[in-house]
Amino acid sequence: MKTGALILAAGSALDPNGSIPLSLYKVGAVSAIQRLILTFDRAKTEPIVIVSGSTSDKLEKHVARLKVVCLRNPNYGQTEMFESVKIGLRYLREKCDQVLVTPVDVPLFILDTVEALIQSGEKLAAPVYNGIKGHPVLISGELIPTLMEYSEGGGLRAAIRHCGQDCKLIPVEDQGVLIDIETEQDYSEVLSAHSLRQLHPRVKVSLAKEELFFGSGSAHLLSLIETTGSVRLACQQMGLSYSKGWKMIAVMERQWGLQIVQRQQGGKHGGEAFVTSEGKRLAERFRKFEQGSKEAVEAIFHQYFDV
Q: Where are the domains of the chain?
A: 3-196, 207-299
pLDDT for position 155: 84
Cα 125 to Cα 169: distance, rounded to the nearest angstrom: 6
CATH homologous superfamily of domain 3-196?
A: Spore Coat Polysaccharide Biosynthesis Protein SpsA; Chain A (3.90.550.10)
- What dotted CATH number matches 207-299? 1.10.10.10
Q: What are phi and psi of 76, to 5 degrees?
A: -55, -30
Cα 1 to Cα 98: distance, rounded to the nearest angstrom: 8
User: Fold identical between 3-196 and 207-299?
Assistant: no
Q: What are phi and psi of 284, to 5 degrees?
A: -65, -45
283, 244 contact by CB (below 8 A): no
pLDDT for position 194: 79
Q: What is the mean pLDDT of the chain?
A: 90
Strands (E) located in 130-279 = 132-133, 137-140, 168-171, 207-208, 212-214, 261-264, 272-275
pLDDT for position 18: 63
pLDDT confidence tier of residue 295, bands split at 50, 70 and 90 = very high
Cα 186 to Cα 251: distance, rounded to the nearest angstrom: 48
> Of 5, 190, 211, nearest to 92 (Cα)?
5
pLDDT tens readout for residues 106-153: 999 999 999 999 999 999 999 999 999 999 999 999 999 999 988 887
The amino acid at residue 116 is A
Residues 6+ apart with CB under 8 A from 245: 221, 231, 234, 235, 238
